[in-house]
Amino acid sequence: MADIIQLLPDNIANQIAAGEVIQRPASAVKELLENAADAGATEISLVITDAGKALIQVIDNGKGMSETDARMAFERHATSKIRNIEDLFRIKTMGFRGEALASIAAVAQVAMKTRRAEDELGTYIEIENSFAIKQEVCAGTPGTSISMKNLFFNVPARRNFLKSNAAETRHIVEEFIRVAMAFPSVFFSMKSNGQEVFHLEAGSLKQRIVQILGSSYNAKLVSVHEETDYMNIYGFVGKPETARKTRGDQYFFVNNRFIKSAYLNHAVNTAFDEMIAKDSFPSYVLYIDLDPSQIDINVHPTKQEIKFEDEKIIYAFVQAAVKHALAQFSIAPSLDFTLNAEIQGLDAVSKPFTTDKRDAAVASSLFQTFTQKNQAHFIEKSDKSELKHWKEFYEGAKPGVGNPEPGNRQQLQTLHILPDTALLQLHHTYIIASTNSGFLLVHQQLAHERVLYERFSIAGHGQQMATQKSLFPATLELAGADASLLTDLLPDLQTIGYQVEPFGNNSFVIQGIPADVLPGNEKHSIELLIEQFKHFSSDIKFSKREKLVRCMARQQAIKAGQTLSQKEMLVLVEDLFTCSSPNITPTGSPTYLEFKEDYLDRMFGR
């Protein structure tokens, strides 16, 4: 019987490796931009065509490569940064994955021109399907230009899985922003289909943040800067008024590498306790510098998730640094002592802070922990840890939990509200309604969310919602990534009543809005819709329209705390019980609780 195990040809092996490294055009953009930054470039330009499917080109003025290095760079496991296994755990640079350029060359038609400053001539290479088809000397300026054309041209199945151009462009913009944020002293530009999307002049970190996130942040940033012998933290947090209802402009960088960390997100959020609403999320761009041996960046293929040797120390430092920054800039809430004469007369207010009291404070263990050297590992443990439930903070309810069985649907709709009986609103949040067998406790916001969800769902499947024309059309200006997303959503927005038209240069004109959206609120409505859509859980595989419908229902639902009239309560309850699934929201939360008469009797021992 013939042997059946054989080695894969290099080009096939490279295509398999490419599946881990190059998942979409944005993956290649990330690799090429990071390599350009590592080359010491002061100017980096990104050019894409057809959302990167037709062309991705990165041009830098970095140190360039020799003729031999230019060819070796495309070999598997080739790297200039690893000499022994210990080096793998001391990485300080960005692009170091050995398969990156080899993977790109396996799934695209690649051309590279590179020249070192000390060389008179440079090198030009063309590679296709992992094979070099041309290599020659060429003239050119110092630096490197790499272009990759026709991504996945030889793996059509992979190409078929790519999303729309707007969606893929949005992913590219995200990667571009992350690298540009990490290197504010470098000029970055990006062109898409011949039009300039970003032109970011080199400058300070604050200037780069404002360039990317918008001029509205210019006066709303609070500086964070703490240095210790263990780690340094610097960057900016947004003032409380910049907080959003979804995880918006939140960026963490560790040793200049963008990372995702729900754990550190929670540290920042707890620092904002009582300054922002519980359902809001602060904005921040924070950088952590520490010894590379204290982290492992090899736990995730894209290097966006890392492991800290002692994550509790990092958590404590981040939280303390943000709290300190907010307090220094008088952002933390303060008490108004003029309101109460008794408070005004207390010793703590009326008497000075004496030298003895100052010495006592300085002698405390907490003060010493954060001011003396080599104390990072001696943070006192506390039974009242804020970390116990951090996971619950970011993990939302799973979709579909509590969906009624088909057999229960009829039972839900046999509930009848007693006629000519007043409804009662409790805490401006709950509606109490008498039924023929007890009473219902209805959550007004969740109930309205179910009603709107079904209404928008019907509109999203053929019966377009009514649009009210704007008497004075509003102009909406968005950042590049948000503009791409809105362009992609325009047809679906029209089905639920929005009439929005592109106006050039990332601007849009709002000609009409759904009939039940208050005029004058249309800009905020669309901005919030975009924000919610962007941060819809990526774990949930819903269609674009389904995500939009769910976001719209959540946004437009009446909120807890809003006073309702008898008529409004009655209409809401009646609308709820005409729904196909009246007992749950789209995400599975209950919309009401039923208290039956026999249960009430048992409670009172009857």
Query: 299-308, 421-430, 569-578, 582-591 — which is least confidently predicted?
Result: 299-308
Instruction: For residue 235, give both structure tokens.
Output: 């960057």
Per-residue pLDDT at 74? 84
Q: How far apart are CA 439 and CA 340, in angstroms?
A: 44
Q: Which one is predicted more confidently, 378 or 564?
A: 564
Question: How many other CB atoms are found less than 10 A from the CB of residue 407?
Answer: 7
109: closest CA among 70, 155, 143?
Answer: 155
Q: How far apart are CA 91 and CA 85, in angstroms?
A: 11
Pairing of strands 284-290, 295-296: unpaired
SS3 labels along 190-201 = EEECCEEEEEEC
Give the CB-side neighbour count of residue 344, counting CA atoms within 13 A.
6
User: By the 8 A CB rule, do 268 and 324 touch?
Assistant: no
The CATH code of domain 10-203 reads 3.30.565.10
The CATH code of domain 208-378 reads 3.30.230.10
H/E stretch holding 226 reads: strand 221-227
Instruction: Please give the full DSSP string across 509-522, using - where no structure is assigned.
Output: EEEEEETTSPTT-H
Q: How far apart are CA 53 and CA 460, in angstroms?
A: 30
587 pLDDT band (50/70/90 cuts)?
A: confident
Pairing of strands 307-308, 467-477: unpaired
Q: How does pLDDT run across 225-271, given as a tens digit for each residue? A: 999 888 899 999 998 888 887 776 899 998 888 988 888 889 998 99
Q: How far apart are CA 96 and CA 333, in angstroms?
A: 45
Q: How far apart are CA 428 and CA 595, in angstroms?
A: 20
Tell me the one-letter amino acid at 503.
Answer: F
In the chain, domain spans: 10-203, 208-378, 407-594
Q: What is the mean pLDDT of the chain?
A: 79
Question: How many other CB atoms are found less than 10 A from the CB of residue 248?
Answer: 19
Angle at 531 between CA 29 and CA 37, to 5 degrees: 25
Q: How does pLDDT run across 43-91, given as a tens digit for each residue? A: 999 999 999 999 999 999 999 999 988 888 887 655 555 445 455 455 5
Q: How far apart are CA 48 and CA 151, in angstroms?
A: 12
Per-residue pLDDT at 400? 39
Q: How far apart are CA 294 and CA 291, in angstroms?
A: 6
Per-residue pLDDT at 442? 95
Residues found in the chain: 606
Mean pLDDT of 478-491: 83
Q: How far apart are CA 413 and CA 406, in angstroms?
A: 12
Q: How far apart are CA 293 and CA 295, in angstroms?
A: 6
Please determine, for residue 389, whether its predicted confidence score (pLDDT) is greater than 70.
no
SS3 labels along 118-140 = CCCCEEEEEEECCEEEEEEEECC
Q: How does pLDDT run across 265-282, given as a tens digit for each residue? A: 899 989 988 788 777 889
- Residue 316 has phi, psi (to 5 degrees) of -65, -40
Instruction: Please give the full DSSP string across 140-182, using - where no structure is assigned.
Output: --SEEEEEEESTTTT-HHHHHT---HHHHHHHHHHHHHHHHHH
Architecture category of domain 407-594 in CATH: 2-Layer Sandwich (3.30)
Please determine, for residue 121, whether its predicted confidence score (pLDDT) is greater than 60.
yes
Q: How far apart are CA 159 and CA 15, in angstroms?
A: 13
Please determine, for residue 93, whether its predicted confidence score (pLDDT) is greater than 60.
no
SS3 of residue 271 by DSSP: helix
Q: How far apart are CA 114 and CA 73, in angstroms?
A: 12
Please determine, for residue 200, whether its predicted confidence score (pLDDT) is greater than 50.
yes
Please determine, for residue 97, whether its predicted confidence score (pLDDT) is greater than 60.
no
Q: How far apart are CA 161 and CA 232, in angstroms?
A: 42
Mean pLDDT of 277-302: 77
Q: What pTM did the predictor assign?
A: 0.61
Mean pLDDT of 573-590: 88
Angle at 536 between CA 530 and CA 537, to 5 degrees: 165
Q: First vs last Cα of the chain: how many Å apart?
A: 83
User: By the 8 A CB rule, do 259 and 178 touch?
Assistant: no
Q: How far apart are CA 526 and CA 531, in angstroms?
A: 9
